[in-house]
Amino acid sequence: MSVYVTVGSTGFDRLIQTVSGKAFLQALSSQGFRRLVVQYGTSAHKFEPPATWLDTHGISIESFDYTSRPSQLIEQADLIISHAGTGSILEALHSGTPIIIVVNRELMDDHQSEIAHELASSGYVAVAEPATLVDAIARNVHMGLVPYPAADPRPIGEIIDEETL
């Protein structure tokens, strides 16, 4: 099983530091995950995975700053761990892959928390912070999430007409 971690187009030092730690890798391994793919953006300096196979708890790790194939990585993942950027969240939700949103409370207006908790209140996502992510993995918070409704494929004009006429 595979986990894809993304911070989008910026960085998220505390998340990247957490996902490269032994405790996180042990939690993943105990849940049956064997592959970790990390898109760390500008937080490369915080990505310091253990050097030995034993310390990674048998998890193979791939990492990079940015990718031209995020959709492919999302489709290959069994779990997505994402910053709370709207674009990353929506792409993950539309894929049908379970997602844990990690909120960055260090941002000015904490708007990510509002988005994440609103989606969590409907059961579409699980929410964590860097300090609670290991526990969230250990508790399988991503299991049993509600599938996000598929987008309505009708053209927007047709929907507006339907709603306003």
122-150 pLDDT, tens digit per residue, is 999 999 999 999 999 998 888 888 888 88
pLDDT tens, position by position, 68-86: 888 899 999 999 999 988 8
Distance CA 29, CA 84 (A): 24
Euclidean distance between CA atoms 54 and 83, whole angstroms: 28
Q: With 90 as the cut, is the pLDDT of residue 24 above it?
A: yes
Give residues with Cβ within 8 angstroms of 137, minimum separation 6.
24, 27, 28, 31, 100
